[in-house]
Structure 1
């Protein structure tokens, strides 16, 4: 389902939920039963989950101001990977 935005001349903006691609050009206003015309808006991507919004924000931000590496990583031991108990049952050479 998608949310479509319509504008009534008397009552302003109203949202109508309909299956994708089935939105009519006009809808009736629930307050006055007048004709409301469809308003084309940007997709409401911010209504997704918080991780999805954060990913989209990071991706968009990296287009204009990417993270810049100013020095190589410090030498040292890489962090150990967590042990997988399923691998313990494999035969060892």
Structure 2
């Protein structure tokens, strides 16, 4: 099911759920019964988490303009998610 947006002169914006491709350009407003016209909007991309948007933007940027590495990175000790992992025996 897809959410389509319609605008009624009396009620304002109205969201209607219909099967994909089953939306009409006009319908009777579910609140008052007046004529409501379909509003064409972008997909609801605002529901995507900001962290995911930032990661996708960074991936797209690095694909077009990769960072130039001038030296090898310094080795780092492995970081563990849980503090008790530091107590585990090492080989």
- Same fold, TM-score > 0.5, yes or no: yes
Moved more, 55-64 or 65-74: 65-74
In the superposition, the TM-score normalised over structure 2's length comes to 0.61
**Equivalences, count:** 76
Unaligned runs of 5+ in 1: 80-93
Q: Which deviations, in whole Å up to 9, do the C-alpha atoms of 1:47-91 show, x marking residues without a partner? A: 46x5xx6334421355568885675321367x5xxxxxxxxxxxx
Tell me how far apart the structure 2 counterparts of residues 27 and 57 of structure 1 sit (CA, whole Å).
38
Q: Which residue number corresponds to residue 55 of structure 1?
A: 52
Q: Which deviations, in whole Å up to 9, do the C-alpha atoms of 1:3-27 show, x marking residues without a partner? A: 0000000110000001111111112
In the superposition, the TM-score normalised over structure 1's length comes to 0.60
Unaligned runs of 5+ in 2: 79-91
Q: CA RMSD in A?
A: 3.0
- Runs (4+) of structure 1 moved beyond 4 Å? 61-71
